[in-house]
Amino acid sequence: MTRKQKRLGLIGGAAIFLGLALTLVLTALNQQIVFFVDPSAIAAEPLEPGQKVRLGGLVVDGSVERGESEVVRFAVTDGAASVPVRYQGILPDLFREGQGVVAEGEMASDGVFVASTVLAKHDEQYMPREVADSLKEKGMWQEGGQDGGAYRTPAKNTAADEPTASAPLTQ
């Protein structure tokens, strides 16, 4: 073999190695990608059962129900739609009604979002960026204030036949 052939062989081997490494990294990352959705997106286009996503919004007032063996049911809203959530485990200390939350999990076949992880805001100046952006799109975010922005709860409907965004979900 000539020197030129050895160099080309080395460059070709390195390119194959890098291509294989890149394929492995992309495959591993693809399995870890979790998209953010809000309740309105789920209402517009329901998720397939088993599809992992992050659901974000506000915990609906009056929707938190604690069951047996650390099972908690609550609803998440973005002001336009609500999604029932079931979580088994210990909730963060700062989890409460009316606060921003991000739940990671998947939609069950019965239409309930089964969360594997629940994240709550950690102080008065923080709300997950995806939740804040979603609330801004829905017109529920007020600019200004001491923390740079605050959410406002949706106005209640006056018509008796229209549901309100803050009404708890029944199952």
pLDDT tens-digit series, residues 64-75: 998 888 899 999
pLDDT of residue 76 exceeding 80, the answer is: yes
Per-residue model confidence as pLDDT tens digits over 40-62 = 888 888 888 878 888 888 888 89
For residues 85 and 74, give the distance between their C-alpha atoms in angstroms, rounded to a whole number.
Answer: 5
Q: Are strands 82-88 and 71-77 parallel, antiparallel or unpaired?
A: antiparallel
Q: Which two tokens stand for residue 30?
A: 């693809």
Q: Does 28 share its domain with 55? A: no
For residues 113 and 109, give the distance between their C-alpha atoms in angstroms, rounded to a whole number.
Answer: 9
Residue 168 lies in a domain: no
Q: Does 70 share its domain with 145? A: yes
The pLDDT value recorded for residue 134 is: 74
Q: Does 105 share its domain with 66? A: yes
Domain count, the chain: 2
Spell out the alpha helix ranges (H) of 120-164: 129-137
User: What CA–CA distances, in Å, run from 26 to 8, 38, 121?
Assistant: 27, 26, 31
For residues 36 and 128, give the distance between their C-alpha atoms in angstroms, rounded to a whole number.
Answer: 11
Looking at per-residue pLDDT, the higher value among 98 and 87 belongs to 87
Q: Does 7 share its domain with 64? A: no
Quick check: pTM over 0.75?
A: no
Assign residue 124 the CATH number of its domain: 2.40.50.140
Per-residue model confidence as pLDDT tens digits over 128-140 = 677 777 777 777 6
Q: Does 81 share its domain with 119? A: yes
Q: Which domain holds residue 15?
A: 1-33
Per-residue model confidence as pLDDT tens digits over 138-169 = 776 655 544 444 444 444 333 333 343 433 44
Residue 124 lies in a domain: yes
Q: Does 107 share its domain with 39? A: yes
